[in-house]
Structure 1
Amino acid sequence: MAKNEIEAKLPHTAVAVWGGYIYQGKIALYHCLSLILKNLIESAKLSLQLDSIDDFAILLNGECKSIHQVKAYKSDDFSSYESAISEQKEKSTKYPNCEAFFHVSKMLKVPEKFSTTYSPVVMYRYNKTPTSEEYCALSEIDNLLENALRGIYTKYHSTDTHKVSNEYLSWSRNLLEDIVVKKVIAMHSEIQLSTGAVQRQVANREKIEFTQFLEILSNDLTSAVLCEDYFFSIIMKDIGSYFANFCEEHDLQGAELSKLSRCIAEINRLDIIGLKAFICSILPDKKGRFSSLTEYKDEAITSDDLQLGLFRIFHELIESNYDASGKVKNFYWRLEGKNYYPTAIHQGPSSAGSICKRIVEGSIKHDVEFLYESGTLITLDINAESIYSVVCVGARSEQHQEHSKFNKFKEISLISISNLPKEIKK
């Protein structure tokens, strides 16, 4: 069979429009940990497949053992989920002797005849000691993951008492999530920048062996955390979570969701060096460093930076260009010979002076390449004909004038979304 015919027969993937992939990945990890807690030896033979057969599936030697559908809808009305449940019931007929689980984030009033109507599909139950429930709210999943880890460490690593401390459980959760999220981010980025059968091929080939989880669980993690790699993975997960929140708040769908998803796909492809440069480019007063807990808290992108600043710019403008060739990989709009660059600056006009001062000082200190190309920086509400014109004069001014890029600062301006040319607005 020809390669394109094989790809066309692969299951459809929903990753291309998966705004909540972080939550789905956490749910997949929770189920994997539950299987490990149940039987350590048998779990070592399993693998996790993401967004191919179903939202995720558990495989044993290539054979599907369970399929899982994850829905994090706003609605708690069962009718909103009926079609998806019916589809999963139909899908389960292709995999004899395979369990079919349906995961929801809201408590639903399930019909009394659910089991007879939708068998073999069952509502997934979460262990919320001392009870279990058929839903997991977004706000609960981290706690449930750490409870599952506590159970695994208590059962299989009872002599390593430090592993059940709250701090160690948090480290473990983040590192285990990283295994899943890195895979999903890579899929998400590649799929967003491809089409059709290529999307299905990407999702179908991505599997995670349970042995990767077991290695993290058996190791001592103290030396593996609180480094740039660790915080890099957390920042990338945060970006995904902030993006999901933004999409939900603005009810993004169709072409508009796809437009923003392509932007996120480019960000997700950045490595540590690229992410640090990108942070400096959209928040020029940031150092873009996160090799310690203090630096991570001070220098990482916040929810407000993205949801009130950068994502709003992407949402309200036409799709941007993207330059991956420079030292700073960045988005831009070009009009009449001028480049417009997005920022995450969301403060009001009263902050113009302090913002511009920090931009100049941060640009000198961190050599933010694109700022020296006489461009215009897009902000939420601040306008300034020159970032230097609103910087206080005096000793600081003389210091800036000695910098080799001083004249370029005079050519860099700030513009609010409302004052942008109509040609680049939606």
Structure 2
Amino acid sequence: MAVAPQVLPHTAISTWSGFVYQGKLALYHCLKLMSSDYAANRDLKLQLESQDDFAIFRRQQCLSMHQVKAYKDPRFSAYSDGISTQRDNARQRGVALAYFHVAREVTNVPATFVADYGPVRFYTYPIPPDAAGNVIQSFCPLNQVDMFIRDELSSLLVNAAMQPAWKNYIVANIQNTLEAIVNLKVIMTHSKIHESTRHQTVIAASEFIEFSELYDVIEANDYAPFENEAFFLSRLQIDIGTYYQEFCERQDSLSQAACQKLDDYLAAITSLNVEGMKAFLRATMPHKKGRFKTLSEFKDQSLDRDAMRLGMFTIFWKLVQTARNDGSDVAFSWLNDGLFYYPTGIHHAAEHQESICHDIMQQAISEDVECLFECGALITSAIDRPSISDVIIGIDATEGVDTAEHELLRENRIGNYKKVAMISLNNVPESLKDAEPD
């Protein structure tokens, strides 16, 4: 019987909520392989979103395929379809190793699991011995993956790679650099697939990270060149993705439509280039202080967990689909009756509104916060205020300009600020609210 021609496998993309976790587990497995035979595994390569969530190749041969699930449900029945699909794919393609990674301990695993689902197995992680003497667990909690990576990397540097001792003092820097490499590829692959519905398999099957890139980081003598704008963009994407996953974890009843809407928002954010990310953070965090000229400054000062979870993602969840305004540098806004509405990460209670407005005004004067120069309202979690400009007293709106421009600039700026309001999520126009019930 004739052998059917090889086809590119389907992609495993279904949601953006676990892309950071997926990338971290892929890196962890790569480090494990490097530790197992440092000299022999330089020619391996990591493939993303094709054979499975990720896979390891040597030349054209798939050595192992990996599926990642971070479900809340611990019951085996929640995973059985995914395990069955992975088993069938592995058997069809002759892949001897198929690993299933989970974030929670799976219960009710059938006693016949090995016979029924081989070659699939649950991936194991090392832990300190428990009361029963166990030294491995078959799951990796979201809050433990960084620890596993750090421990494996520390061991690799000393034992397998035999790197100088000073590298043990910068393990976190090396880990961040490695994660940035993997994350950039994950983001690129997710973005391409998100934009395309016809060529997903071709896109995913061609996306590899050569292990030589990882070896270059392990063996580098100077890590300063790695900390460029691309690096900090990746670190911001990782942070935003982590906060997004935490947001999703805390929601008990997100519908499929809500998940898709939030995924679309995250896809739009993570597709931003360096300048786009700067504009996004200036617009959505207008109350953050600092002269943000580089992404490293944004990374250190402008983004925090609560601003994303309690501010941005909550607003995205409750309001309409993402929209881009042509000709505007602001990535997200909605237009209603001639007034622009801008989502922000401002999640503070109403009693803090005076200080928040003061911070926004100061930042708008020192930085080019685009949305404050159009007629609009900043959407917050809990603050309603008709104008932010009544805190103009005590703020020098003309610092750094000559006398001839003084009065005109003051008049224009105050006039613009009077048009900017703050509105709480509960009081935005009904037409902007999601028609879907909570």
What's the TM-score, normalizing by structure 1? 0.89
Q: 1:66-85 deviations in whole A, cap 9, x for unaligned?
A: 11111222233223222222
Aligned equivalents of 2:209, 2:395: Cα separation in 1: 58
The CA deviation at 1:372 is: 0.5
- Inter-CA distance 338–102: structure 2 relative to 1 (3 Å threshold): same
Contact 2:235–2:299 (8 Å) recurs in 1:
no
The CA deviation at 1:246 is: 1.3
Partner of 1:191: 193
The CA deviation at 1:241 is: 0.7
Secondary structure of the structure 2 residue equivalent to 1:323: coil
Q: What amino acid maps onto 2:184 in structure 1? A: K
The CA deviation at 1:294 is: 8.0
The correspondence of residues 178-327 of structure 1 with structure 2, limited to 5 A, is 178-194=180-196, 196-224=197-225, 229-250=230-251, 251-286=253-288, 287=290, 289=292, 296-297=299-300, 299-323=301-325, 325-326=327-328
Secondary structure of the structure 2 residue equivalent to 1:40: coil
**Range with greater deviation from structure 2 (265-274 or 352-361):** 265-274
Q: 1:258-284 deviations in whole A, cap 9, x for unaligned?
A: 212121112112233322222111111
Q: What amino acid maps onto 1:423 in structure 2? A: S
Contact 1:277–1:288 (8 Å) recurs in 2:
no
The CA deviation at 1:158 is: 3.0
Aligned equivalents of 2:349, 2:332: Cα separation in 1: 23
**Range with greater deviation from structure 2 (397-406 or 72-81):** 397-406
Partner of 1:3: none
The CA deviation at 1:393 is: 3.3
Aligned equivalents of 2:421, 2:298: Cα separation in 1: 29
Partner of 1:117: 116
Q: What amino acid maps onto 1:81 in structure 2? A: Y
Contact 2:20–2:241 (8 Å) recurs in 1:
yes
Matched, 1:132 2:136: yes
Q: 1:159-215 deviations in whole A, cap 9, x for unaligned?
A: 5011122xx111111111111111111222233333x22333322221111111111
The correspondence of residues 99-114 of structure 1 with structure 2, limited to 5 A, is 99-109=97-107, 110-114=109-113
Q: What amino acid maps onto 1:107 in structure 2? A: E
Contact 1:102–1:121 (8 Å) recurs in 2:
yes
**Identity among equivalent pairs (%):** 35
Aligned equivalents of 2:295, 2:86: Cα separation in 1: 45
- Inter-CA distance 221–236: structure 2 relative to 1 (3 Å threshold): farther
Aligned equivalents of 1:329, 1:292: Cα separation in 2: 17
The answer for unaligned runs of 5 or more in structure 2 is 130-134, 400-405
Aligned match of 2:16 in 18, 22, 45? 18
Secondary structure of the structure 1 residue equivalent to 2:99: strand
Runs of 4+ aligned structure 1 residues displaced above 6 Å come to 292-295, 397-401
Q: What amino acid maps onto 1:149 in structure 2? A: L
Aligned equivalents of 1:325, 1:197: Cα separation in 2: 29
Aligned equivalents of 2:175, 2:74: Cα separation in 1: 28
- Inter-CA distance 339–178: structure 2 relative to 1 (3 Å threshold): same
Partner of 1:368: 369
**Range with greater deviation from structure 2 (74-83 or 348-357):** 74-83
Contact 1:50–1:207 (8 Å) recurs in 2:
yes
Partner of 2:50: 52
Aligned equivalents of 2:201, 2:75: Cα separation in 1: 31
Contact 1:128–1:144 (8 Å) recurs in 2:
no
- Inter-CA distance 383–42: structure 2 relative to 1 (3 Å threshold): same
Matched, 1:84 2:49: no
Q: 1:236-293 deviations in whole A, cap 9, x for unaligned?
A: 1000111111122224342221212121112112233322222111111323638698
The CA deviation at 1:129 is: 5.7
The CA deviation at 1:54 is: 0.7
Q: What amino acid maps onto 2:167 in structure 1? A: K
The CA deviation at 1:398 is: 8.9
Contact 2:229–2:296 (8 Å) recurs in 1:
no
The correspondence of residues 130-169 of structure 1 with structure 2, limited to 5 A, is 131-158=135-162, 160-165=164-169, 168-169=170-171
- Inter-CA distance 334–291: structure 2 relative to 1 (3 Å threshold): closer
Partner of 2:357: 356
Aligned match of 2:64 in 63, 66, 73? 66
What's the TM-score, normalizing by structure 2? 0.87
Contact 2:37–2:160 (8 Å) recurs in 1:
no
